[in-house]
Amino acid sequence: MRRLRRLAHLVLFCPFSKGLQCDQYRKGVISGSICWDLCDLHQVEWRACLSSTPGQQVYSGRWHDKDVLIKCGLEEALSAQAQPDAAPRRELMLFDKPTRGTSIREFREMTLGFLKANLGDLPSLPALVGRVLLLADFNGDSRVSLAEAKSAWALVQRNEVLLLLSLPAKEHTPRLLGFCGDLYLTEGAPHSSSCGAALLQPLLPSALQGALQQWLGPAWPWRAKIALGLLEFVEELFHSTHGTFYMCETTLANVGYTGSYDFKMADLRQVAPEAAVRRFLQGRRCEHSRDCTYGRDCRAPCDQLLRQCKGDLLQPNLAKVCELLRDYLLPGAPAELREELGQQLRTCTTLSGLASQVEAHHALVLGHLKALLWGKISDTKYS
């Protein structure tokens, strides 16, 4: 019953969140590329709630004849509804920076400081600051107003937006389409590789789960193509211009794909910068390694002597992805490929420690897997 009430809150209060956003826009506190469409023309159509918890704030919708995802500050809106006098505090909390009188140079410096704290002190950060300023100047007038700066600052606090700005290639991530304050739109949800199978899997014996994936999922060559895209995404996270990123919720639900079976990450909110994960884990009190977990599955060892978490993760991205691909690719794989593919995936799942410490081995395993899959589907309709 509590879960049903929660879901009812999700559906009922998002219009409240939209109203709060538009109120800030009309007061001149915030700005953004879709504020006019959202608040004055009402051209952003809200559809189904896609969240299972209040903090996820995700809705499907339509905008300019496109399917979109709407990400809004629903969690703050729920708090404001519970405490009517909390609405002004949300403004103070989310849109408190920069303050009136802040120069563009000062805004640049505060943005650089935030990025250093979250991504690490990298030589590429000034270029990323430039991207944040371009985002703020959505109307292209070569000026950043206070409302534009407040909106850009609130946006980069959102992990997904920070990732969309930081990752160099957009091929495997959804595009950011527009924003109003900290509410933003991305491309519509890709097809999910879980295909509804995830709902049935807990009810079935393990022997039938692979068959279920084979029956309900795409044909094996298409799965191989999707897997290649996922491996390329892992490579991008490791070799990103703006540092290393960790996948901290490695589930089939996040393995999305387009209508042409190109991999598209379904949810970036649990992809985290290395610096942020280290800051969270380093020195954290623990009894076991399970106490040293960021997100769902970014786990570090627990120093039993000091009873403190270490900053190094037990598994790199590639090892976790290969565990996922073992169940995704082996069912229905061509007979002549199955043994070698299984061996490659087993080798891959044994990778441990920071990827930077096993860089050569990491690259070798990744290269072998990609070559094996590509060799099977290249020069066919599936490529």
Note the pLDDT of residue 360: 74
Average pLDDT over residues 106-113: 96
Residues 206 and 107 in one domain: no
Average pLDDT over residues 244-260: 89
Residues 65 and 24 in one domain: yes
Note the pLDDT of residue 89: 38
Q: How many domains are there within the chain?
A: 2
Please identify, among 166, 187, 208, the residue that sits at the C-terminal boundary of a domain.
187
Residues 224 and 87 in one domain: no
Residue 368, domain member (yes or no): yes
Residues 150 and 218 in one domain: no
Residue 382, domain member (yes or no): no
Residues 60 and 178 in one domain: yes
Please state, in angstroms and rounded to a whole number, the distance separating the CA atoms of residues 192 and 196.
Answer: 8
Beta carbons within 8 Å of 209's beta carbon, 6+ residues apart: 197, 201, 327
pTM (2 decimals)? Answer: 0.83
Which residues constitute the domain of residue 209?
191-377
Please identify, among 153, 187, 221, the residue that sits at the C-terminal boundary of a domain.
187
Note the pLDDT of residue 113: 96
Residue 301, domain member (yes or no): yes
Residue 267, domain member (yes or no): yes
Q: How far is residue 234 from each of residues 38, 98, 228, 245, measured CA to CA in Å?
A: 35, 35, 10, 9
- Six token digits for residue 4: 């049903």
Structure confidence by residue, pLDDT tens digits, 144-168: 999 999 999 999 988 889 989 988 6
Percent above pLDDT 70 for the chain: 79
Nearest alpha carbon to residue 273 among 251, 240, 224, 309: 240
For residue 25, the 8-state DSSP code is H
Average pLDDT over residues 128-137: 96
Least confident of 64-73, 207-216, 266-275, 352-361: 207-216
- Axis crossing angle, helix 74-82 with helix 87-94, rounded to the nearest 10: 150
Three-state SS for 294?
A: strand
Residues 122 and 56 in one domain: yes
Helical H runs in the chain? Answer: 2-26, 35, 74-82, 87-94, 104-119, 125-136, 146-156, 159-166, 197-200, 206-216, 220-238, 274-281, 317-329, 335-349, 359-377
Structure confidence by residue, pLDDT tens digits, 163-197: 899 886 678 998 999 999 999 999 987 887 765 44
First to last CA, the chain: 48
Structure confidence by residue, pLDDT tens digits, 47-62: 988 876 656 678 899 9
Please state, in angstroms and rounded to a whole number, the distance separating the CA atoms of residues 65 and 3.
Answer: 33
Residues 123 and 196 in one domain: no
Residues 155 and 32 in one domain: yes
292 touches 318 (CB < 8 A): no
Nearest alpha carbon to residue 253 among 239, 269, 234: 269
The phi-psi region of residue 188 (left if phi > 0; otherwise alpha if psi is between -120 and 50; otherwise beta) is beta
pLDDT of 211 over the 80 cut = no
- Six token digits for residue 3: 């879960």
Reported confidence tier of residue 137, pLDDT bands at 50, 70, 90: very high
Mean pLDDT of the chain: 83
Reported confidence tier of residue 357, pLDDT bands at 50, 70, 90: low
Reported confidence tier of residue 335, pLDDT bands at 50, 70, 90: very high
For residue 220, the 8-state DSSP code is H
Residues 299 and 340 in one domain: yes
Please state, in angstroms and rounded to a whole number, the distance separating the CA atoms of residues 268 and 179.
Answer: 17
Average pLDDT over residues 282-310: 92
pLDDT of 11 over the 60 cut = no
Please identify, among 138, 164, 187, the residue that sits at the C-terminal boundary of a domain.
187
Residue 156, domain member (yes or no): yes
Q: Which residue has the higher pLDDT, 14 or 123?
A: 123
Q: Give the containing element (helix H, strand E) for 298.
A: strand 298-299
Q: Which residue has the higher pLDDT, 85 or 284?
A: 284
Note the pLDDT of residue 192: 76
Residues 108 and 230 in one domain: no
Residue 222, domain member (yes or no): yes
Residue 303, domain member (yes or no): yes
Please name the residue that has the structure tokens 């044994």: 350
Structure confidence by residue, pLDDT tens digits, 25-48: 999 999 999 999 999 999 999 998
Residues 202 and 78 in one domain: no
Q: Which residue has the higher pLDDT, 366 or 213?
A: 366
DSSP codes joined into one string, 264-291: EES--TTEEEHHHHHHHHTT-B-SSGGG
Structure confidence by residue, pLDDT tens digits, 82-95: 333 333 334 445 68
Residue 383, domain member (yes or no): no
Residues 36 and 145 in one domain: yes
